[in-house]
């Protein structure tokens, strides 16, 4: 009997030891899995929109997203009560953008200012990541066609003379949840210039920032500085201040700017208003994004959470 008892005790101790060893191995496996480094997450919503105010932001549309924008810039505030502080007059731009992939987007637009048509392509080269890539970088190329009739009906203007081009690098970083900063080295090429002494190429540097106030409201600012040696004759540097309000699929942008034109070649090279003279335009952008396809809709829902 004692022999059976000790034999059973011996077998039980072996089984118990095996179970402990097994459990220890399982715990070690769990620890190793939990300590495996996770993939870095992309930083979202560096800015509320693909535009900061007038200028493009580093943001891109998601795949199969369609963005329709209506932009208005009223007359200047210094026109007084007779022009209702500029509200009697307005220039506008209607734009349609589309996300081909999550990094590549294209867009077209039409401005009442100079009756201009424009098109652009933007590609996100780098994407800021938590614990990884510290910045986002996008490249933009745009073409602009001025279709305004000449003041002299007998004057002939070649088609190529109506073309402008813009090339930009958009470098941005989101600092925490509240603040984002962007710098934008820019080249504007004009096929036709007003005077023979003017240069066809303008080099400008843009800086833009946004500060989050609430979950759905941000304050924005942007400034474009033209290098003196390439500055367009009669132009001044563009300065704009505004704020965004996000309401679901809509983003409403309200701003004050010294720029009449809304497209890149216009506000960089053709701004003539001065803030200290009251040449300030009140304006707004209305933006509505449509998700085309189930995947795009799911991505849009996740972004709005």
pLDDT at 153: 79
- Regarding whether 159 and 249 lie in a shared domain, the answer is yes
Judge whether 84 and 254 are in contact, CB under 8 Å: no
Task: Tell me if 244 sits within 8 A of 211, measured CB to CB.
Answer: no
Q: Are both 32 and 177 inside the same structural domain? A: no
- Domain membership of residue 215 (yes or no) is yes
Bridge partners, 223 (sequence order): 207, 239
Residue-range definition of the domain harbouring residue 17: 1-36
Note the pLDDT of residue 155. 79
Contact 129, 159 (CB under 8 A): no
For residue 189, being part of any structural domain is answered with yes
pTM of the predicted protein model: 0.82
Domain count of the fold of the chain: 2
**What pLDDT is stored for residue 196 in this prediction?**
80
Residue 3, pLDDT score: 46
Q: Is 43 part of any domain?
A: no
Q: Which residues of the chain have pLDDT under 50?
A: 1-23, 26, 29-30, 33-34, 36, 305
- Bridge partners of 121? 106, 141
How far CA 24 is from CA of 1, 11, 19, 28, 29, in Å, comes to 35, 20, 8, 6, 9
Q: Is residue 92 part of a domain?
A: yes
């Amino acid at each position: 009997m004692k022999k059976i008892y000790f034999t059973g005790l011996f077998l039980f101790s072996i089984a118990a030891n095996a179970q402990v060893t097994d459990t220890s191995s399982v715990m070690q496996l769990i620890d190793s899995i939990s300590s495996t480094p996770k993939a870095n997450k992309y930083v979202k919503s560096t800015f509320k929109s693909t535009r900061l105010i007038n200028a493009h932001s580093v943001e891109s549309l998601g795949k199969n997203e369609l963005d329709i924008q209506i932009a208005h810039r009223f007359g200047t505030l210094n026109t007084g009560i007779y022009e209702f502080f500029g509200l009697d007059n307005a220039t506008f731009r209607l734009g349609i953008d589309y996300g081909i992939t999550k990094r590549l987007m294209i867009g077209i637009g039409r401005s009442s200012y100079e009756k201009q048509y424009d098109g652009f392509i933007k590609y996100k080269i780098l994407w800021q990541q938590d614990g990884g890539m510290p910045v986002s970088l996008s490249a933009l190329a745009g073409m602009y066609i001025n279709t305004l009739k000449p003041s002299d009906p007998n004057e002939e203007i070649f088609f190529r003379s109506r073309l402008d081009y813009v090339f930009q690098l958009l470098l941005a970083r989101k600092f925490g949840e509240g603040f984002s900063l962007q710098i934008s080295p820019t080249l504007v090429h004009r096929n036709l210039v007003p005077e023979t002494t003017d240069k066809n190429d303008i080099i400008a540097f843009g800086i833009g920032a946004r500060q989050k106030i609430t979950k759905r409201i941000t304050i924005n600012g942007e400034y474009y500085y033209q290098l003196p040696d390439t500055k367009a004759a009669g132009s001044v540097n563009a300065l704009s201040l505004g704020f965004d309000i996000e309401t679901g699929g809509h983003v409403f942008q309200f701003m004050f700017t010294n720029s009449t034109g809304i497209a890149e070649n216009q506000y960089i090279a053709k701004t003539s208003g001065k803030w200290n003279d009251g040449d300030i335009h009140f304006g707004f952008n209305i933006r509505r994004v449509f998700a085309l396809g189930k995947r795009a809709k799911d991505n849009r829902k996740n972004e709005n959470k």
